[in-house]
Structure 1
Amino acid sequence: MKWVAGNSLTTRLTLLFAAVSTSVLLLLGVVIGSLVERHFEDMDLELLEGKLELIQHALAVTRSPGDLVTIPAQLDAALIGHHGLAVGVWDETGKPLYLSEEASFPTGSQPQVPAAQFPRTWTGADLHLYRGIMGTAPTGIPGGASTTVALSTDLSHHEHFMQSFRLTMWAVVALAATLSGFLGGLAARRGLAPLHGIVRHAADITAEKLDQRLEEGNIPLELAEVVRTLNGMLARLEDSFRRLSDFSSDLAHELRTPVSNLLTQTQVTLSKVRTLEEYQDILASNSEEFERLSRTIADMLFLAKADNNLLIPLREEVDLGAAVSSLLEFYEAYADEKQLRLSCSGKASIAGDRLMLRRAIGNLLSNAVRHTPKLGRISIELKETPEGETVVSVENTGETIDPEHLPRLFDRFYRADASRQHYGEGSGLGLAITRSIVQAHGGEVSVISERGLTRFSIRFPR
């Protein structure tokens, strides 16, 4: 698959960094903007409420209508330096006692009289936004009524500040998104550098270099498991290639001998005219070699099916004791020739393929007969364990096998040493076939060899 920008992990991480930083900055800007708006509102209300208290105090100290005449001058002096602040005072009849310049309030039914309830903020005739409050201010004149006081402040300077703030925030967000994307790309490339190193190292591993492994020393923790998995896969591939190479070499060696014998014998036969009896002897000898080739090929086909899980054993109740007794009768002549003692103890049964199980046990027995020295002993034990397993053991006396050879005895064509070479009809595939049959039945086969005794054990599950 060709990688494009949309599928690049570096690009995705870069876009993710940019999106996260942009979202965080936008959220932060919204929160700060809301807090600034709330702060401005609190400051404006504090100013307006302070001026309302000042006006209420000024009106409370009046003692006669003449004192009201001085109120405008007092309020003008009090409002000096407060640009944008507007104040209006009305008596109980709605007559304005004081109106600051350019005062603009939401009016009621009478012109210039504020509405009984006006909003906290409003837009004036000049399209400016205002914030205001309204209250009452009792006078100190005996029998005098209370006055109505309205105060407002122009919010234009606040609006200018917020517009500047939003513009600055958007500029910062754009710059931060670009910068975080750039830095995120650098961080992503740097963080993925070990992965690129793994890719380069893995690309150098070929079928001729399967012994190489990926280095785990400086790998980040997130990639350590990937490296261990790849190294495990390489170890399995190396072992499989080694076995395949050994098998190919052994197979060529096994087939070369009978083919060479047939070719040599045929050429010698054709070198001169032979009698009828001689031709019959030669054909009989060739027939034996062909039988050996046929058995080897049949065994290889059987193992090929096992490797591809094509062995589907029948399921029938098999009396292992009867199967072993039949095999002992078959090998009795070979045992008598070497003066071997054969014995069988115990009894057991299993649900499986009768012919396959007979072949598996027969291979173990044949192997024991070939490798047990003269006057030796071969014993077969059948038993069913309390855990429900069925165990078949074939034990023979003879030379102890070195521990280093035991794990590979079930490999195809493998022979521990010259002293355990097969005789006559052995093809080197018997133990490999036994393992395949046992595994097809869900069991396992093992071997131990110590103090002159070698024991092969087959364990079938419940």
Structure 2
Amino acid sequence: MRLLSRVSLTQRLTLMFVAATTVVLLVLGWVVTSSVEQHFEDLDMEVLSGKMALITQALQGVASPDDLTPLTHQLARSLIGHHGLEVMVMEPDQSVIFATAHATFPASIVAAQALQAPDQPVLWQLGEQTYRALAAQLPTAARDAQGQSVRVLVAAAIDIGHHQAYMRSFLQTLWWFVAGAATLLGLLGWFVVRRGLAPLSTLRDQASVVTAQQLSHRLPVTRLPVELAQLAESLNAMLARLEAAFARLSDFSSDIAHELRTPVSNLMTQTQVALSRPRNAEDYQAVLASNAEELDRMARMISDMLWLAKADNGLVVPSRSTVCLADEVRALFDYYEAVAEEKDLQLTLQGTANVQADRLMLRRTLSNLLSNAVRHASPGTPVQVTLKAKQSGVDICVMNQGDPIAPELLERVFDRFFRVDPSRHRSDQGTGLGLAITRSIVTAHGGTIGAASSGGVTTFTIKLASHLPG
């Protein structure tokens, strides 16, 4: 496996192509060889069967021992011109009646073949010669004492040395052809595979251009095969996600640096002013109180950032319990009542619903939305929470009247440190992480959250399923 991992894709495909074509050529060679051998056997059997038929007919004229001499002359004449054809005729006691010059087959073998497998071709080896032979027990016109036809053992064999020489030459030629064809097909396959995989080299060259500073670069999709075009589209989609994530990370780094720079600068300035000259205890207490406020804001920001980091990595797991949303909203109304009275806001609740969720997380979500609504609501207007129980889950809507949010900014309100009105003082709007945390909590519960704003009315809608995702 380790050695295979070092082999290039071009080499692998070439080897597979060569192996496949070699197997095909070998199978084809085996079929052709078998066909040629079968053809030679059929030709030999045609000759042997004809001679056996001739001998059978001649034996019908043998009625007495005196007829054997004419029989031998007749057989000798019939074999003139048949080079390599040998005939042997024996009596049942294996005494030879007639045999051609080279028919020196063992009598026992002839008798066994004639009695056990008559008319079945068999190969006999005689010295360096190989013969294909037929042996049979044939009747004569003579009769024995019981009146039965006297039978003789007859063997006809033909030398197949020329067939074997041809097959050896044919197989040698076939092996050379297979070797040459495999080599030629290997070179052709390597060329074809290399040309076919050329788009991969193009993708590699294009991908090497992508760096952290050039995430906007995209791989070309046109003029690519369908399979590689799909791969290029998937890589382009991945690059788009990486570019968006890198942009968010860059923006987040800039935002957090800006957010932390302000309280750190305030702490340094106030501390340096306090230390510039001796002051009384009340002045020092005022400076420490101001510093404590900035430190508390920084601590909340750091805590929120740690929570979001856990949420981004799936480490925030809600605990299951039945939550009465109406009770949670009323408890939050009591908390924000003083701020609402200061701005002459009416906190109203419509509907009731229960949901399987993490109570503390859900309270934090509702608190963030109410805090955002109270902060941006115009004085003398209502802040309304609507609960709608459905068969599929629960809808939670938090609505306030105030300055509208531009449509292009609605999706960004859930980004970290994003503010619709950046001119406002940071301390007036918290850490800028409330809505980001809200979305993380809703996502952890398997729900969705969205924002809509028109006609001076801004509505945040949460959709939660009846049960937490398993």
How much has 1:84 moved relative to structure 2? 0.3
Q: 1:248 is matched with which residue?
A: 253
Identify which of 419, 440, 459 aligns with 1:455. Answer: 459
Asked if structure 1 preserves the Cα contact closer than 8 Å seen for 2:139 and 2:150, the reply is no
Q: Find the residue that maps to 1:404 and give its secondary structure.
A: helix
Identify which of 212, 219, 232 aligns with 1:214. Answer: 219
Q: 1:350 is matched with which residue?
A: 355
How much has 1:460 moved relative to structure 2? 2.0
Q: Which amino acid aligns with 2:338?
A: A
Asked if structure 1 preserves the Cα contact closer than 8 Å seen for 2:111 and 2:153, the reply is no
Q: Which amino acid aligns with 1:428?
A: G
Q: Find the residue that maps to 2:361 and give its secondary structure.
A: helix
Give the distance between the partners of 1:156 and 1:184, measured in 2 at CA.
41
Per the alignment, do residues 342 and 439 of structure 1 end up closer, same or farther by CA in structure 2, a change over 3 Å counting?
same
Per the alignment, do residues 395 and 80 of structure 1 end up closer, same or farther by CA in structure 2, a change over 3 Å counting?
same
Give the distance between the partners of 1:189 and 1:367, measured in 2 at CA.
62
Q: 1:52 is matched with which residue?
A: 52
Q: 1:437 is matched with which residue?
A: 441
Per the alignment, do residues 433 and 152 of structure 1 end up closer, same or farther by CA in structure 2, a change over 3 Å counting?
same
1:248-281 deviations in Å (ceiling 9; x for gaps): 1111111122222232333334444445444443
Give the distance between the partners of 2:113 and 2:285, measured in 1 at CA.
136
Q: 1:150 is matched with which residue?
A: 155
Q: 1:35 is matched with which residue?
A: 35
Q: 1:287 is matched with which residue?
A: 292
Give the distance between the partners of 1:287 and 1:200, measured in 2 at CA.
56
Give the distance between the partners of 2:425 and 2:282, measured in 1 at CA.
34
Per the alignment, do residues 367 and 422 of structure 1 end up closer, same or farther by CA in structure 2, a change over 3 Å counting?
farther
Is 2:92 aligned against 1:87?
no
1:55-81 deviations in Å (ceiling 9; x for gaps): 445566799999875555554444333
Give the distance between the partners of 1:20 and 1:114, measured in 2 at CA.
47
Give the distance between the partners of 1:148 and 1:359, measured in 2 at CA.
112
Per the alignment, do residues 52 and 315 of structure 1 end up closer, same or farther by CA in structure 2, a change over 3 Å counting?
closer
Give the distance between the partners of 1:353 and 1:149, measured in 2 at CA.
104
Give the distance between the partners of 1:86 and 1:382, measured in 2 at CA.
111
How much has 1:395 moved relative to structure 2? 0.9
How much has 1:401 moved relative to structure 2? 2.0
Give the distance between the partners of 2:181 and 2:17, measured in 1 at CA.
10
Q: Which amino acid aligns with 1:42?
A: D
Is 2:326 aligned against 1:335?
no
Per the alignment, do residues 312 and 81 of structure 1 end up closer, same or farther by CA in structure 2, a change over 3 Å counting?
same
Q: What is the aligned-residue identity percentage?
A: 48
1:214-240 deviations in Å (ceiling 9; x for gaps): 222233333344333322222221111
Q: Which amino acid aligns with 1:450?
A: S
Asked if structure 2 preserves the Cα contact closer than 8 Å seen for 1:48 and 1:152, the reply is yes
Listed as ranges, the matches of 1:372-451 within 5 Å are: 372-387=377-392, 389-418=393-422, 424-451=428-455
Asked if structure 2 preserves the Cα contact closer than 8 Å seen for 1:137 and 1:148, the reply is no
Asked if structure 1 preserves the Cα contact closer than 8 Å seen for 2:328 and 2:363, the reply is yes
Per the alignment, do residues 288 and 138 of structure 1 end up closer, same or farther by CA in structure 2, a change over 3 Å counting?
same
Give the distance between the partners of 1:289 and 1:93, measured in 2 at CA.
129
Asked if structure 2 preserves the Cα contact closer than 8 Å seen for 1:108 and 1:114, the reply is yes
Give the distance between the partners of 1:114 and 1:226, measured in 2 at CA.
73
Per the alignment, do residues 99 and 425 of structure 1 end up closer, same or farther by CA in structure 2, a change over 3 Å counting?
closer
Give the distance between the partners of 1:29 and 1:398, measured in 2 at CA.
89
Asked if structure 1 preserves the Cα contact closer than 8 Å seen for 2:63 and 2:140, the reply is no
When normalised by structure 2's length, the TM-score is 0.85
When normalised by structure 1's length, the TM-score is 0.86
Give the distance between the partners of 1:93 and 1:4, measured in 2 at CA.
70
1:27-50 deviations in Å (ceiling 9; x for gaps): 222222222222111111101222
Per the alignment, do residues 133 and 293 of structure 1 end up closer, same or farther by CA in structure 2, a change over 3 Å counting?
closer
Give the distance between the partners of 1:74 and 1:182, measured in 2 at CA.
64
Q: Which amino acid aligns with 2:372?
A: N
Give the distance between the partners of 1:436 and 1:252, measured in 2 at CA.
22
Q: Which amino acid aligns with 2:115?
A: Q
Q: How many residues align?
A: 458
Give the distance between the partners of 2:151 and 2:322, measured in 1 at CA.
115
Per the alignment, do residues 433 and 64 of structure 1 end up closer, same or farther by CA in structure 2, a change over 3 Å counting?
closer
Asked if structure 2 preserves the Cα contact closer than 8 Å seen for 1:106 and 1:118, the reply is no
1:104-135 deviations in Å (ceiling 9; x for gaps): 334149xx999743873243443311122245
Gaps of 5+ in 1: none
Q: Find the residue that maps to 2:347 and give its secondary structure.
A: strand
Q: Find the residue that maps to 2:289 and give its secondary structure.
A: helix
Per the alignment, do residues 426 and 102 of structure 1 end up closer, same or farther by CA in structure 2, a change over 3 Å counting?
same
Give the distance between the partners of 2:323 and 2:150, measured in 1 at CA.
120
Per the alignment, do residues 344 and 61 of structure 1 end up closer, same or farther by CA in structure 2, a change over 3 Å counting?
same
Asked if structure 2 preserves the Cα contact closer than 8 Å seen for 1:365 and 1:394, the reply is yes
Asked if structure 2 preserves the Cα contact closer than 8 Å seen for 1:335 and 1:342, the reply is yes
How much has 1:423 moved relative to structure 2? 6.2
